[in-house]
Structure 1
Amino acid sequence: MTTRVALVTGAARGIGRAVALRLAEDGLDVAVNDLPDTPGLDDVVRAIESKGRRSIAVPADVSLEAEVVRIIQQVVQKLGSLDVMVANAAIMKYQSFLDTTVDSFDRVMTVNARSTMLCYKHAANQMIAQGRGGRIIGACSAAGKKVGAGIAAAYCASKFAIRGLTQAAAHEFGKHNITVNAYAPGMTDTQMSQSFLLLSIVSVQG
């Protein structure tokens, strides 16, 4: 069988990096994405290659549709196909509901929810064209299932949106043998969660 190819967004660090490395361990070639000039992306490529798998870095802002189209095309051209899409890119802005501005809300929704929608859409288009199905996975969160005290409103809204996008995509893409699922981790020791916890402590003490 032809080696399957995965694309993981937000893969320079944290959960995205761990997912990319696990996919490589499971025998997939893995393209990794993060914002241009993000430290660590090339290190992930080298780590994947050290496991005997092919890898490329495809830096881009995946909240922009043209960029999502471009990197998927690049992955197919350089690695041969796209069989697994992991839409992992996300940001968090710690603000109370009353302090949340329209600009900050839109920014979080754009990065978290819109980028997921774009990755689902264009990955599915590629997989349908290939004609052999595929796997699409999105990054939800425990905060997308139940809101906890101190969790930012915009972040929660974006993660609830990903649950809806995932279910809608699963219904529509199933006839093409494409499964669509989302993972919803709790608090994980990453740079983003460490920043969140620090801001939470400062807010409580203040």
Structure 2
Amino acid sequence: MAPGQATPFTVAFITGAAQGIGREIALKLADDGFNVAVNDIPSNADNLNSVVKEIEAKGRKALPVLGDVSEDDTVKAMVEKTVEVLGRLDVMVANAAVAIISEIVDLDVKQFDRALAINVRGVMLCYKYAAKQMVKQGNGGRILGAGSILGKRGGPAAAAYVAPKFAIRGLTQCLAIELAPHKITVNTYAPGVILTAMTDMGALDEAKGGGHGTATKWVCGLPPDGPAAGPEVVASLVSYLVKPEAYFITGQSINIDGGVDFN
């Protein structure tokens, strides 16, 4: 058992869990023995309920919590509901995000504000309320945010995604410093091109000379045959980072990108 951890980690909360990376993380942590609260927006309720059934089929408890992570009261209530139903909160994975493709000269300010609200404020609120609960419990914890290799480099038509991902790195480093005395680690996972619904851009992929993920590769400065992987590679990293033995890793933004960027 890691220094400062008196109770095994047993409860995780994952936002944006109805599909893609969030779904894969939720299922992986269920395999690891966690009871899991899963969040997404109301329009994804059917997909989220399917994830709940998959978690329960693994013999774990699952709690669906619908809501917009950009709303302060909503995030606070979702964390409180998780603790009420599942008993505690040990792991927060602030995974929810939106991607908006537009060059800056054409970027609509409402779209930009929406990206900042979900991708930055949403992460901050998840960090805030998870941290308050974990400090209150006094048993340490794990907080993770969804970064990206586009939080370390720019890309064409991606400012509304790149800017929030850069901001998440800063939030993560600040919170890691603040929570170190409480034995709570804070990190981000920084994927490259992960083949999910978010990276399936149909006609834009074809226009860039390939299939699923090609437009995302273009944004990342990669050719159509550049490296890509499924969401399970991200879930595997998260699975390690929430383990007790990962107590010595904090404040980091860890690439999962097939070697596109070297830190």
Q: TM-score range by the shorter chain?
A: over 0.9
Q: Does 1:113 align with 2:120?
A: yes
What do residues 125-176 of structure 1 show as CA deviations (whole Å, max 9, x unaligned)? Answer: 000111111100000011111123x341110001001011100110101111
Helix, strand or coil: the match of 1:132?
Answer: coil
In the alignment, is the contact (CA less than 8 A) between 1:58 and 1:71 conserved in 2? yes
Matches within 5 A, 1:121-200: 121-148=128-155, 150-195=156-201, 198-199=203-204
The answer for the alignment partner of 2:70 in structure 1 is 63
Alignment match of 2:10 (pick from 4, 21, 36):
4
Q: Does 1:51 align with 2:58?
A: yes
Alignment match of 1:78 (pick from 75, 81, 85):
85
- 4+ aligned runs moved over 6 Å, structure 1: none
Alignment match of 2:22 (pick from 9, 13, 16):
16
Query: How big is the shift at 1:45?
Result: 0.4
Letter in 2 for 1:51: K
**1:200 to 1:101, Cα distance in 2 relative to 1, 3 A:** farther
Query: How big is the shift at 1:198?
Result: 3.9
Alignment match of 1:102 (pick from 99, 109, 113):
109
Query: How big is the shift at 1:203?
Result: 7.5
**1:101 to 1:203, Cα distance in 2 relative to 1, 3 A:** farther
In the alignment, is the contact (CA less than 8 A) between 2:11 and 2:36 conserved in 1? yes
Q: Distance in 1 between matches of 2:203 and 2:8?
A: 46
In the alignment, is the contact (CA less than 8 A) between 1:94 and 1:151 conserved in 2? yes
Specify every segment of 5 or more residues in structure 1 that has no aligned partner in the other structure, as ranges: none
| Aligned residue pair count | 202
Helix, strand or coil: the match of 2:200?
Answer: helix
Helix, strand or coil: the match of 2:40?
Answer: coil
Higher helix share: 1
In the alignment, is the contact (CA less than 8 A) between 1:143 and 1:151 conserved in 2? no
Query: How big is the shift at 1:3?
Result: 5.9
Which moved further from structure 2: 2-11 or 156-165? 2-11
Q: Distance in 2 between matches of 1:88 and 1:80?
A: 22
In the alignment, is the contact (CA less than 8 A) between 2:9 and 2:91 conserved in 1? no
Helix, strand or coil: the match of 1:179?
Answer: strand
Q: Distance in 2 between matches of 1:89 and 1:186?
A: 16
Q: Distance in 1 between matches of 2:173 and 2:9?
A: 28
